[in-house]
Structure 1
Amino acid sequence: MNSILSALFVAAGIACCAGLLASCTTPASHPQTAGSLELVNVQPPADQVPQYGLLEIEALVRSAAKNPFDPDDIAVHATLISPSGKTYSCPGFVSALANEERDADTFRVRFSPNEPGVWRWRLVAESHGQRVESPEFKTTCAKSDARGGLRVSRANPLYFEFENGSFFYPIGHNVCWNSTEQYQDQFAKMGKHGENWSRIWIAAWNCEIEWTPRDGMYEGGLGRYELRQAEKLDAIVRAAEANGLYLQLVLHEHCRLSAQTNPEWHNNPYNKARGGMCDAPHDFYTHPEARRLARNRLRYIIARWGYSSHIMAWELFNEVDLTDNFRFDTDLAWHKEMISFIRATDPHGRMTTTSYISNPNAKVYRLPEVDYVMSHVYMPDVISYFSYLNELYAPFGKPHLIGEFGRHTADGVDAQDKTGRVLHSGIWAQFMQPAGGNAMSWWWYDLIDPNDLYYHFSALAKFAEGIDRRTRHWTPETGALESGRERVLAISSPDLVLIWLYDSEILPWSENPPATPHPMSGVLRFDRVADGPWVIEQWDTYKGEMRSTLSAEASGGKIEFPFSAPGPDIAFKLRFDGEPKPDMPSPRPILAHWDPRHPVARERTRFSIPRAPGPMPVNADLEKWSGIPMHEVAPTDGRSPADHSFRFAVAHDVENLYVIAQVTDREVIRRNGPGGSLWKDDCVELWVDSRFDADAFNNMPHNPGCWQFVIAPSLEPGGKPDHTVYRHPDWNDRQFPHLETASRITEDGYVIEARLPLNDLRGPVLMVNPHVVGFNVSTCDASPTGDQKDWKHLLWQGEHEWDGREWGVGVME
């Protein structure tokens, strides 16, 4: 049987200039062998390679390797030397396995040359101490107009640029999974409408190369890759290249390491029950063999798709904090190891990032090797929250992107928004922030594509065209017109101000918006303006068209201009039209005060926790609490206080917190035991930030000093209540043995009393202020029918019970 090794160099869809021929050495006429390892008939390339195009080497390799996907068994790479003398090592990958017609495995090397001129290269194969090299070959790289790969800007580290130095502002939306045909169709629509950025998941149901065999796929299992899925991702990358999209490739999603949230752990090949080595999902981060196989998988991904300049970044994990028993320390160690491996393996230096849903790991985001930071946001008021997030992430000094957003995390909710009000609000609100890129809507499959909402992106892309953010220092500005209904977001620089004005009764979301748009008109005024000529452009934010242009003269540091719009929003560019002046100020809109920051930025309620008057036996007896102030909490949604209200009191004796809650409830319902569904019953929830250190990067459920105790009353006289700890890194879904509780059924509800040992909750830490705790109380009102739509929740402080920054501040007297 004749085995042929050919070297093919493909120009990735970019035509080479005629007349420039590749130069090469004479083809090797004999196989290169070392023991059982053999390269056969290496041939030179037959064509040129354009700068930043695809140089692809295809080779047949014979070996005694048992697993050609394992680089510890057999590894193939190319050593390439640039025209300037820089050496690159590019890993190879298996593209086809030996079969009846071919007694050798097919390996390929994909490389993107970044310098025009003559490149020299060798192909190398290694297996268990054996090593073979091809002769040296040469090929010519022709200079091209391609911009190269993406990187953090060297001129301004808050933004991105291409290798050739041109500016890049990401605008796009998620298309995390699809069929190949859907990708090709939707990518074409995205490119046509000015989008340049998307996000792809490698998941069990989309392009995953390593998974448990099922449905005729993943026949190899752990450590052996599914080539049909790899070929699908090949096609997706080609479609992105053809349509000008740059991909954020998500290498792991949270589902694979969770038995609770979108669970896929039961199918994960790393699961010991599936033949793997991990007893629990968390072992994936620490088990030596799991980490070795994870590195191997990374190597294959880098080798196969890292060549493409349209891979914007490797996103190591999607929402890693949703994996079971997540811990900050192991998360940091794993990310350090994997990013270091990527840096050592990827010859093209693609960027790296990762994402979280609730509590980002600040230590991971501060790693120099993490190029940019991500946020995921699901709430109706995306406008306010985006403003807050960009302020929060500014100290990192890195680009900040919104990797996912929507009104809600549940399927079907955002789909009700047929015209895309939240989508529209999110992309324009993020554009008016000094951030590295825009915001990606999650809802491609039930909102954007079914309703053909691509025009929202087209309008923004046209407005953004020609604006290079790197060259200016931007100041975010917010406020409202006199009515308070029309609100303004803007970013201001000395010679250019970008402004978005919107009707807050329609955008970002209203359950019952006005039947007809509210016409907006008035005058916008600015101070701190450089005197001289200015041009004001008024833009339609749905068509991406300039509605009008007018010229105005600034005098005395002020300028004003009229506007009118049919609603519900409009955008402006205020551009200086004179000779630049030294020390020009940044114009400031003169507006009524409006603080768009998320409620976590508001003043927290401070309250006194009195010292207990004497011994406090935990017996649900209210009488001993006489003289201690009670806090009253009633529903605000129209429900009767007779069916769901409560009052509570807190006291301390230095070592313990004592809490009593008296709940009004017409029918006390208990259906669940002390496991994970206790919150579905009638119960009291106590929230304690025992160390008073909760912040955006050290919050529930990963802060060991933050606790959620769910306590449900016993229906039996003298019976002990059930309790469970939720949202805690060590005690999640478990009972806490040091918690003492009591309950009592009353004529109109029930009473819960608890003793919380502060030292046990805080652990062995040095307290800066041991007399202050974060504290909150809520109650759950069970559904009479068991239908969760009728379940009710009543919270004392804040809007998000899991966010320790919204709880009350208790000062122990």
Structure 2
Amino acid sequence: MSLKILQLIFVLLVLIICTGVSQTPVYVSDYADNRPLKINGIKILRDKVEKYGLFEIILDLQGKYNNPFDPEEIDINCIFIDPDGNEIKVPAFFYQDYERKIQNNVEILNPVGKPHFRVRFSPTKVGNYKFYIIAKDKTNNVVKSDLYSFTSLDSKKSGYIRVSSSDFRYFEFENGDPFIPIGANICWAGGRGTFDYETWLPEYAKVGCNYFRVWLGPSWTTFAIERSSIREYDLKNSWRLDYLLNYAEKMGFYIMLCFDSYNELRYRKEEAYGMWESTPHYIQNGGILKEPKEFWSNEEMQRLYRNKIRYLVSRYGYSTNVFAWEFWNEIDIISPSAYIPELVKDWHSKMSNYLKSVDPWKHLVTTSFSGSSGKPEIDSLSGIDFVQTHIYQGSNYIKYLIGLFNFKSEYKKPHIVGEFGLDAGGRDPYLDPKGFAIHNAIWTTLLSGYAGSAMSWWWDNHIHPDNLYFHYKALSDFISGVNFPKENFKTIESYKFVNTDRDIRLIGLKGEKNTLIWLYDNNVIYNYKKDIPKILLTGPNFLLKLDNLNNGTYKVIYWDTYNSKSIKEEIIEVKDNIANIEVPNFERDIAIRIEFLK
């Protein structure tokens, strides 16, 4: 065979191989731009804002980019210089304004104006801030704005929520005020969208709640930002979340934003509401993954997830009413083929570090598991600021809640019950029409050392239609004025009951100024078919002998845990470090608050 023939065969083979290699198509958004990079204008919405308030800029910027949501295509940052000369970098985000209306009981959003880039920032110091914009498009051209300024005024706002510096079990604001989260999951709405929240949140506010949880995925949820793509974000749902955050601030609520749920990486055939086949991650839906397990190792998927984190922080991170970022809802029940422990752990470690690196306001970070015991290898990561428990159990859950608190105390982090119910299948309204399980769970958690009250899952088919909000009022009123992080609470372990043969159980915390106790009759506490109980019954009182209290004078308040009122109050003297508490005869449960006077 001649040399020329061999060369021809080689060329043909190369052509066959090259034409057989599939090229990843360039993603082009409907919002792509192909004009020369230029800053046409900067509009400052307010040049004076309160400390911890919202400073916002509208950018008129053009450039050459295929996707305004991808910083590799168009990277716009605002560099802020605080009064002490420190620089803070905040990315711009792509935005479309809307107006909302209700039509046939469905929320309709109509666009207002043209889409554009914005910058949001919250100053944490009082004084003069300077800033400038710097942008780079896909051609690597760079433009930089002039230097601008605004003034941050003093305010009475409490700041961002942190883990308490006094007691790792609890949360507090930057100014040192305690934050004890009391509330429920309110993860999505019905067809009425944000209008549903204007029905629900005022009811929670009336009873002293201050906290709820929202999902940003899967793609069908009210605030899903990845509704149809993982490369760009749904501007309507992003605006809905803007609206909800603003409304939450007005109403005094703090939100845990959950980025994703296990459903997205679970096959339909595996049941438990798996929806992999319809998720935007799936290659057949325009995504990049052929199967769920690739989520943890695909480099492009990691880049796109970092882009999502960047977008969420740049758009919502300014808000002090963002309580925490939550990576996953129940990540341990994705497809068994996709849950690879080392990869999931490594992903949480890397993403939590990245999130903290791009969030100048340092919001708290968490994740959650379906298994109530969690995953120690992830819960113990330094990038996870607090741990959660999800528990659905029809009986003896009080015992298990206390056991789970003790088990996870080794992490030395705040611990909240992120989901609670009797039945994960949705039968709580039938099993417990009066909400006794919600009642039991919120009193158990807060008085056993958890950072807040257990969060019921059934907000739209149980709490609201059955009007169970009152359960929260009794608890929030009972703890009013108690500074949990400063109390140095210890679990009450040394006590005894006298003059009763009932199976009375005690859960409580003894602090430096306040001792908080919840007593319940174990024989009736799991009975859900009765009406709201009477606190005072005929019959003799019984004695609670409480050890290890400091000698002195105390005020004892006996509390109706259903009607949220004091049954009676008395002054007692503690001698020999023993308090003798005359407990009224009650039907189901009662709370007692003991305040040190002198």
Relative to the length of structure 2, the TM-score reads: 0.85
Q: Of residues 203, 211, 214 in structure 1, which corresponds to 2:227?
A: 211
Residues in 2 aligned to 1:443 and 1:564: alpha-carbon distance in whole angstroms: 33
1:497 aligns with 2:530: no
Q: CA deviation at 1:411?
A: 1.4
Equivalent positions of 1:137-176 (< 5 A) are: 137-176=148-187
Which amino acid is 2:53 matched to? Answer: G
Query: What is aligned with 2:422?
Result: 407
Q: Is the 8 A contact 1:81 1:88 kept in 2?
A: yes
SS where residue 389 of structure 2 aligns?
strand
Change in 2 beyond 3 A, CA 1:526/1:46: closer
Query: What is aligned with 1:39?
Result: 39
Q: Is the 8 A contact 1:209 1:227 kept in 2?
A: yes
After superposition, the C-alpha distances for 1:433-485 in whole angstroms (9 at most, x for unaligned) are: 12222211111011111111111111111111111111233222367744242
1:373 aligns with 2:387: yes
Q: Of residues 174, 186, 194 in structure 2, which corresponds to 1:180?
A: 194
SS where residue 260 of structure 2 aligns?
coil
Residues in 2 aligned to 1:103 and 1:437: alpha-carbon distance in whole angstroms: 42
Equivalent positions of 1:774-789 (< 5 A) are: none
Q: CA deviation at 1:115?
A: 0.9
1:230 aligns with 2:238: yes
1:126 aligns with 2:136: yes
1:268 aligns with 2:279: yes
Equivalent positions of 1:423-462 (< 5 A) are: 423-462=438-477
Q: Is the 8 A contact 1:37 1:62 kept in 2?
A: yes
Residues in 2 aligned to 1:557 and 1:289: alpha-carbon distance in whole angstroms: 64
Residues in 1 aligned to 2:355 and 2:81: alpha-carbon distance in whole angstroms: 21
Change in 2 beyond 3 A, CA 1:539/1:280: same
SS where residue 593 of structure 2 aligns?
strand
Equivalent positions of 1:342-381 (< 5 A) are: 342-358=355-371, 359-380=373-394, 381=396
Q: CA deviation at 1:140?
A: 0.7
Q: Which moved more, 1:486-495 or 1:343-352?
A: 486-495
Q: Is the 8 A contact 1:171 1:437 kept in 2?
A: yes
Q: Is the 8 A contact 2:432 2:528 kept in 1?
A: no
Q: Of residues 317, 324, 336 in structure 1, which corresponds to 2:349?
A: 336
1:551 aligns with 2:571: yes
SS where residue 41 of structure 2 aligns?
coil
Residues in 2 aligned to 1:446 and 1:505: alpha-carbon distance in whole angstroms: 28
Q: CA deviation at 1:166?
A: 1.1
Change in 2 beyond 3 A, CA 1:67/1:490: same
1:384 aligns with 2:392: no
1:240 aligns with 2:248: yes
Residues in 1 aligned to 2:200 and 2:161: alpha-carbon distance in whole angstroms: 23
After superposition, the C-alpha distances for 1:686-707 in whole angstroms (9 at most, x for unaligned) are: xxxxxxxxxxxxxxxxxxxxxx
Q: CA deviation at 1:488?
A: 1.3
Change in 2 beyond 3 A, CA 1:103/1:311: closer
Q: Is the 8 A contact 1:62 1:104 kept in 2?
A: no
Q: CA deviation at 1:242?
A: 1.2
After superposition, the C-alpha distances for 1:722-778 in whole angstroms (9 at most, x for unaligned) are: xxxxxxxxxxxxxxxxxxxxxxxxxxxxxxxxxxxxxxxxxxxxxxxxxxxxxxxxx
SS where residue 173 of structure 1 aligns?
strand
Q: Of residues 328, 341, 344 in structure 2, which corresponds to 1:317?
A: 328
Query: What is aligned with 1:488?
Result: 506
Residues in 2 aligned to 1:575 and 1:112: alpha-carbon distance in whole angstroms: 39
Equivalent positions of 1:515-554 (< 5 A) are: 519=537, 521-554=541-574
Higher relative contact order structure (alpha carbons within 8 Å, sequence separation ≥ 6): 2
Percent of paired sites with the same residue: 29
Change in 2 beyond 3 A, CA 1:350/1:378: same
Change in 2 beyond 3 A, CA 1:516/1:343: closer
SS where residue 231 of structure 1 aligns?
helix
SS where residue 278 of structure 1 aligns?
coil
After superposition, the C-alpha distances for 1:517-548 in whole angstroms (9 at most, x for unaligned) are: 69383111122232222221111111222221
Residues in 1 aligned to 2:362 and 2:453: alpha-carbon distance in whole angstroms: 23
After superposition, the C-alpha distances for 1:394-425 in whole angstroms (9 at most, x for unaligned) are: 11110000000011101133443121100000
Residues in 2 aligned to 1:365 and 1:154: alpha-carbon distance in whole angstroms: 20
SS where residue 225 of structure 1 aligns?
coil
Query: What is aligned with 1:116?
Result: 126
After superposition, the C-alpha distances for 1:375-402 in whole angstroms (9 at most, x for unaligned) are: 0011133211111011011111100000
Query: What is aligned with 2:261?
Result: 253
Residues in 2 aligned to 1:49 and 1:85: alpha-carbon distance in whole angstroms: 19
Which amino acid is 2:487 matched to? Answer: R
Q: Is the 8 A contact 1:382 1:422 kept in 2?
A: no
Change in 2 beyond 3 A, CA 1:557/1:43: closer
Q: CA deviation at 1:346?
A: 1.1
Change in 2 beyond 3 A, CA 1:404/1:267: same
Q: CA deviation at 1:55?
A: 0.6
Residues in 2 aligned to 1:515 and 1:83: alpha-carbon distance in whole angstroms: 57
Residues in 1 aligned to 2:496 and 2:261: alpha-carbon distance in whole angstroms: 40
Q: Is the 8 A contact 2:432 2:529 kept in 1?
A: no
Q: Is the 8 A contact 2:446 2:453 kept in 1?
A: yes
Residues in 2 aligned to 1:73 and 1:184: alpha-carbon distance in whole angstroms: 38
Change in 2 beyond 3 A, CA 1:517/1:469: closer
Q: Is the 8 A contact 1:61 1:105 kept in 2?
A: no
Residues in 1 aligned to 2:47 and 2:137: alpha-carbon distance in whole angstroms: 31
Q: CA deviation at 1:565?
A: 4.4
How many residues align? The count is 533
Query: What is aligned with 2:297?
Result: 286
Q: Is the 8 A contact 1:187 1:239 kept in 2?
A: no
Q: CA deviation at 1:331?
A: 0.9
Residues in 1 aligned to 2:43 and 2:60: alpha-carbon distance in whole angstroms: 11
Q: Is the 8 A contact 2:492 2:508 kept in 1?
A: yes
Which amino acid is 2:527 matched to? Answer: S
Q: Which moved more, 1:244-253 or 1:521-530?
A: 521-530
Residues in 2 aligned to 1:527 and 1:222: alpha-carbon distance in whole angstroms: 59
Q: Is the 8 A contact 1:62 1:105 kept in 2?
A: no
Residues in 2 aligned to 1:320 and 1:532: alpha-carbon distance in whole angstroms: 50
Q: Is the 8 A contact 1:463 1:544 kept in 2?
A: yes
Query: What is aligned with 1:299?
Result: 310
Which amino acid is 1:334 matched to? Answer: W
After superposition, the C-alpha distances for 1:615-657 in whole angstroms (9 at most, x for unaligned) are: xxxxxxxxxxxxxxxxxxxxxxxxxxxxxxxxxxxxxxxxxxx
Q: CA deviation at 1:127?
A: 1.5
RMSD (Å), alpha carbons: 2.3
Q: CA deviation at 1:224?
A: 1.8
Query: What is aligned with 1:761?
Result: none
Which amino acid is 1:392 matched to? Answer: F
Q: CA deviation at 1:576?
A: 2.2
SS where residue 329 of structure 1 aligns?
helix
Q: Is the 8 A contact 1:95 1:227 kept in 2?
A: yes
Residues in 1 aligned to 2:202 and 2:530: alpha-carbon distance in whole angstroms: 33
Query: What is aligned with 2:87?
Result: 87
Query: What is aligned with 2:527?
Result: 510
Residues in 1 aligned to 2:531 and 2:503: alpha-carbon distance in whole angstroms: 13
Residues in 2 aligned to 1:319 and 1:483: alpha-carbon distance in whole angstroms: 42
Change in 2 beyond 3 A, CA 1:429/1:222: closer
Residues in 1 aligned to 2:430 and 2:39: alpha-carbon distance in whole angstroms: 55
Which amino acid is 1:209 matched to? Answer: I
